[in-house]
Structure 1
Amino acid sequence: MKILVLHGPNLNLLGKREPGLYGTGSLEEINASLQELACELGVEIGFMQSNHEGVLVDKLHTASAEYDAVVFNPGAFTHYSYALRDAVAAIALPVVEVHITNIHAREEFRCLSVIAPVAAGQITGFGALGYQLALRAAVGLVTGQ
């Protein structure tokens, strides 16, 4: 089993960008902790980050050739990218949406996720731990456990 962890815009700035909201850990640290958990769970994991909507759409389109599920933090695209929403809906893989902050407790425009209705589930507000919860959920969705 192989899981794709897909990071959207500005997540490459984790640790530097608004640490009061997003924490002081870097994207590399999140990925390293996920790699460690993947080894414990006996699954392979791949990572990609892009600030470009079309690159994320393309990766979702081709994900099923290599992966069994996707953990996806669409970043700001969460709130308005119908292209990403449609890409998630179009693929035959479970997608677990994840957010570091609780998007439902933030500014009004951040409360809406256009991805959530087509994702298998959403994990939000648990900081970097949310990624680990999302990886466990993705593995569970694939294995049926």
Structure 2
Amino acid sequence: MTQILVINGPNLNALGQREPELYGHETLADIEALCVEAGNSLGLEVECFQSNSEGAMIDRIHAAREESAGIVINAGA
């Protein structure tokens, strides 16, 4: 199955908790579950990764070069 990596950046782990009147009540886990479900419906395996560290995100991008067909980056808020 083709793998797609979704990288969520800084502060996105606080979705649903930080200013929900501005950012909404959905959590990052809720959004990631929707991404996985959408990917599965298209025959894709979706792996989600979140970090507040730019270095960790870069390391994950380099690791994905060998295992993922594509990367979607939501850089954060």
> TM-score, normalized by length of structure 2?
0.91
Higher relative contact order by CA 8 Å / sep ≥ 6: 1 or 2?
2
What is the RMSD computed on CA atoms of the aligned residues? 1.0
1:20 Cα offset (Å)? 2.3
Which structure's residues are more often strand, by fraction? 2
Amino acid at match of 1:35: V
Deviation at 1:21, TM superposition (A): 2.3
- How many residue pairs were aligned? 76
> What TM-score comes out, normalization by structure 1 length?
0.50
In structure 2, the gaps of 5 or more residues are none
Partner of 1:11: 12
Of Structure 1 and Structure 2, the greater helix share is in 1
Return the alpha-carbon distance in structure 2 between the equivalents of residues 11 and 42 of structure 1: 26
Q: What does residue 33 of structure 1 align with? A: 34
Match of 1:51 in 2: 52
Unpaired runs of 5+ residues, structure 1, are 77-145
Find the aligned partners of 2:24 and 2:42 in 1 and give their Cα distance.
26
Which AA in structure 2 matches 1:73? N
Larger Rg: 1
**1:13-38 deviation digits (Å, cap 9, x = unpaired):** 10011212211100000011111111
Distance in 1, Cα, partners of 2:72 & 2:20: 22
Could you list the structure 1 runs, at least 4 aligned residues long, displaced by more than 4 angstroms after superposition: none
Give the letter for the 2:18 counterpart.
R
Q: What percent of counterpart residues are identical?
A: 47
SS state at 2:65 partner: helix
